């Protein structure tokens, strides 16, 4: 059966796909994960779970089958019923059943459904083409320890030089050499003092220049003779593509009467277009977010509108 393929297709685009009289597949975004034990990085994905308490037909799966298989809505609903009976029969006969690219089902001792998702399938479109990546640990040695070791080795290799003073009497050249050393030392000290003074003068000049520039900037005034033209952006409003259908009518006058009845009851009802069978659809209300539409649909069914269903998309006017 192609129902498994239809469920898989919808999971790429929707967070909740309901299989009537069986349960709902719910997906949520899971961030990228890193497992230190295996040194593996896994890309972001959609985590898939199953809720057997949600079994009411929201129209999503049936409407998708109608658009893809080109059959009537009633035939699509019957296809879903047959598929659910097939799943139950397989679990009764073989103990488990697998929905292709979705997961495997089995029953516990208490006859409760147990679901194991297909972990190799990623329903997050942004992560298409990404796969797990194995990393390798790197041994890091602190830099300061390496430097200290090098310095210690260098100190060990420096030779020790011992100067011996001759026992014989020194000649006059020794005294001249001593005087030369003293003069060289005085010249070195004087050169350092001159260099320090030069650096201090340069710093003073730089500070004076900064002060002058700051004063000029503070006293300056700027005047824009022609102001910049204003920009007007036209932002398109978000489309409300999720509609809770109250009924479909062959005669547009009857559709308008139904709209008026619902509006008198406080609903934001309107005609949302003509379907492929030539019927004028009337909606209780329309929403931007799918979850908001599902919540409103559940409230309406609790109030007695059991035939209300969810339509996704837009119809020709």
Question: What pLDDT digit, counting tens, does each position of 219-240 carry?
Answer: 555 455 566 666 666 656 778 8
Residue-wise burial string across 30-43, b where 16 or more C-beta atoms lie within 10 A, e elsewhere: beeeeeeeeeeebb
Q: Starting from the edge strand earliest in sequence, which strands make up the sheet with 113-117, in order? A: 96-99, 103-107, 113-117
**In contact, 33 and 41? CB cutoff 8 Å:** yes
Each residue's pLDDT tens digit, 69-101: 889 999 999 999 999 999 999 998 998 999 988
Q: Which DSSP category does 22 fall into?
A: T
Segment among 57-71, 91-105, 172-186, 301-315 with least mean pLDDT: 172-186
The pairing of strands 270-274 and 280-287 is antiparallel
Domain boundary assignment for the chain? 3-134, 242-312
* CATH code matching the domain that covers 242-312, chosen among 1.20.140, 2.60.40, 3.30.70, 3.40.50: 3.30.70
**In contact, 81 and 74? CB cutoff 8 Å:** no
Share of the chain above pLDDT 90, in %: 25
Tell me the pTM.
Answer: 0.40
Average pLDDT over residues 183-205: 60
**In contact, 278 and 250? CB cutoff 8 Å:** yes
The CA dihedral of 55, 60, 62, 64, to the nearest 10 degrees, is: -150
What is the per-residue pLDDT for 163?
A: 46
């Amino acid at each position: 059966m192609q129902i498994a393929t239809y469920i898989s297709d919808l999971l790429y685009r929707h967070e909740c796909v309901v299989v009537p009289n069986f349960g709902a597949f719910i997906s949520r975004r899971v961030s990228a994960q890193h497992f230190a034990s295996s040194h593996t990085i896994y890309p972001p994905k959609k985590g898939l779970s199953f809720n057997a308490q949600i079994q009411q037909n929201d129209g999503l799966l049936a409407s998708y089958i109608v658009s893809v298989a080109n059959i009537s809505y009633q035939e699509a609903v019957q296809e879903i019923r047959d598929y659910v009976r097939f799943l139950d029969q397989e679990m009764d006969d073989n103990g488990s059943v697998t929905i292709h690219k979705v997961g495997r089902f089995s029953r516990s001792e208490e006859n409760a459904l147990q679901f194991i998702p297909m972990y190799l399938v990623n329903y997050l479109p942004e992560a298409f083409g990404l796969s797990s990546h194995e990393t390798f640990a790197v041994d890091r040695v602190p830099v300061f320890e390496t430097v200290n070791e090098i310095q210690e080795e260098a100190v060990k290799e420096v030779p020790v030089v011992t100067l011996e003073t001759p026992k014989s009497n020194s000649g006059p050249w020794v005294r001249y050499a001593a005087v030369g050393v003293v003069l060289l030392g005085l010249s070195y000290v004087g050169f350092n003092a001159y260099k320090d003074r030069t650096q201090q003068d340069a710093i003073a000049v730089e500070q004076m220049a900064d002060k002058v520039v700051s004063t000029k900037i503070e006293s300056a005034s700027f005047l824009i003779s022609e102001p910049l033209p204003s920009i007007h952006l036209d932002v398109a409003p978000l489309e409300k593509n999720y509609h809770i259908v109250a009924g479909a009518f062959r005669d547009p006058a009857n559709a308008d009467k139904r709209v008026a009845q619902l509006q008198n009851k406080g609903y934001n009802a309107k005609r949302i277009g003509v379907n492929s069978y030539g019927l004028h659809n009337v909606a209780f209300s329309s929403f931007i977010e799918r979850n908001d539409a599902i919540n409103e649909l559940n409230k309406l069914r609790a109030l007695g509108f059991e035939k209300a269903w969810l339509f996704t998309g837009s119809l020709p006017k």
